[in-house]
Amino acid sequence: MRLIDGKAVAAELRAEVAGAVAKRVAAGCRPPALAVVLVGEDPASQVYVRNKVQACQEAGIRSRTHRLPADVAEAALLDLVQELNTDPEIDGILVQLPLPPQCNAARVIEAIHPGKDVDGFHPVNAGRLALGLPGFVPCTPAGCLRLLKTVHAELAGLEALVIGRSTIVGRPMAALLVSESATVTVAHSKSRDLPALVSRADIVVAAVGQAEMVRGGWLKPGATVIDVGINRVTGANGKARLVGDVAFAEAAEVAGAITPVPGGVGPMTIACLLLNTLRAAA
Ligand code: NAD
C-alpha cells in the first residue's frame, strides 16, 4: 500500500508557483495579488483565511484581507466585490464561505468577475469545466486530480466513483475525471447500495462529510482512495482528532494507494489556490 503524501506534493507545487512568481517579478511585472473577503467571525473561516494568506506570502503572492462584520448588508458585500473586480492591482478574488444568512452566497459568487474567480465557483467557470473548456477549476478537486496523477499516469478507462455531489467538490471532481476519460459514477445521499458501487471502483474520491463512513471491506483490492473528508471526532482517550470519510486503517489493508487525513487533500487545496492566483495574474 502506498501512502499518498499530499503535504509533499503540495510543497512541490507551492515551490513551483513561488518560482514562477519570482520569474514574473524579475521580468518587471508586479507580483500576483489576491483579495480575500472574510465576513464575520467564524473560527474555522478565520483559520482558513490565515493559512491562505500565509501561503500567499510564502509564494511571493500579495494578499489583502477585507474583513466585514457578520451583520454586513449583502449590498455592501456586492459593492466590495464590484470594486475588487475593477481594481487593476487585484488579480484574484476569494470570498470565504460560509456567508451569514442575509448574504446570498450564489449571488455574491456570481458577482465576482469570472477572470478573477480563483475559487472556480462562478457559473461561467463551472460551465466551462462541464464543457471541458479551460477556466478556473475549484481548488479541492484540482488538488485531488493532481494526487491521483501521482499514482496513475493515465486515468483513461479507469472506473472512478465520486461520493458526494457538492458544487465545491463532488460535481467538479466528476467533471475533471470525465475530461480525463475515466468512467465516472457519482454517488450521493439518494444512491442505493454504496458498498456495491465502491467495490467496482479503481478510484474512489470520498467527499461526504461523515466520519469513516466508507469501510475498507467495500474497496476493490488495489483501489486508489482519495479522502476529502475532514471530520472532527472524539477519540477513546477523550481527545479530539481529525478523520476522513474513509475508515483509514481498514482501507489501508485493501487499497493500493490512499491519502491520509490530515496531510492528504487538505494541503493541496491551498497549493491549487496559489496556482489559480498565478494564472489569474498571467
Ligand atoms: P457537502 O455537505 O456539501 O456534500 C456532501 C455530499 O455527500 C452531498 O452531495 C450528499 O449527497 C453526499 N452524501 C451524504 N450522505 C451520503 C451517503 N450516505 N452516501 C453517499 N453520499 C452521501 O460537503 P462538501 O462541501 O462536498 O465536503 C465534503 C467533505 O469534504 C467534508 O468533510 C468537508 O469538510 C471536506 N472538505 C475538505 C476540503 C479540503 O480541502 N480537504 C475542502 C472541501 C471540503
CATH number of 29-114: 3.40.50.10860
Q: How many CA atoms lie within 13 A of 67 on its CB side?
A: 7
Distance between CA 6 and CA 28 in Å, rounded? 33
The CATH fold assigned to 139-266 is Rossmann fold (3.40.50)
For residue 236, name the pLDDT band (cuts at 50, 70, 90). confident
Mutation to probe ligand 1, out of 188, 259, 268 (largest number of atoms < 8 A from CB): 188
Statement: residue 235 has pLDDT above 90: no
Ligand 1 centroid from CA 171, angstroms: 11
Cβ–ligand 1 distance for 224 under 6 Å, the answer no
Classify each residue of 234-273 as buried b or exposed e, where b means 16 or more C-beta atoms within 10 Å of its C-beta.
eeeeeeeeebbbbbbebbbebbbbbbbbebbbbbbbbbbb
Task: Give the ligand 1 atom nearest the CA of 264.
Answer: 41
* Beta-bridge partners for 103: none
Cβ–ligand 1 distance for 99 under 6 Å, the answer no
For residue 238, name the pLDDT band (cuts at 50, 70, 90). very high
Mean of the per-residue pLDDT values of the chain: 98
Q: Which pairing describes strands 33-39 and 92-95: parallel, antiparallel, or unpaired?
A: parallel
Q: Quickly tell me which residue has 456495491 as its cell.
A: 196
Asked whether 37 and 90 are in contact (CB, 8 A), the reply is no
Distance between CA 131 and CA 110 in Å, rounded? 19
- Average the pLDDT over 251-271 and give the result: 98
* Beta-bridge partners for 205: 162, 226
Domains of the chain, residue spans: 29-114, 139-266
Query: In the sheet where 92-95 sits, what is the strand order?
Result: 62-68, 33-39, 92-95
pLDDT tens figures, 165-216 = 999 999 999 999 999 999 999 999 999 999 999 999 999 999 999 999 999 9
- Average the pLDDT over 47-74 and give the result: 98
- Average the pLDDT over 66-84 and give the result: 98
- Average the pLDDT over 138-151 and give the result: 98
Task: Give the ligand 1 atom nearest the CA of 269.
Answer: 40
Contacts of 194 (CB under 8 A, 6+ apart): 163, 187, 214, 218
Q: Which residue lies with its CA nearest to atom 34 of ligand 1?
A: 230
Ligand 1 centroid from CA 255, angstroms: 21
Joined together, the cell numbers standing for residue 150 give 501521482
Distance between CA 263 and CA 10 in Å, rounded? 10
pTM: 0.97
Mutation to probe ligand 1, out of 52, 144, 228, 259 (largest number of atoms < 8 A from CB): 228
Q: Which residue lies with its CA nearest to atom 40 of ligand 1?
A: 266
With a pLDDT cut of 90, the percent of the chain lying above it is: 99
Q: Do domains 29-114 and 139-266 have the same CATH topology?
A: yes
pLDDT tens figures, 2-39 = 999 999 999 999 999 999 999 999 999 999 999 999 99
Q: Which residue lies with its CA nearest to atom 20 of ligand 1?
A: 188
pLDDT at 90: 98
Q: Which residue lies with its CA nearest to atom 14 of ligand 1?
A: 189
What is the torsional sign of CA 226, 232, 234, 238? positive
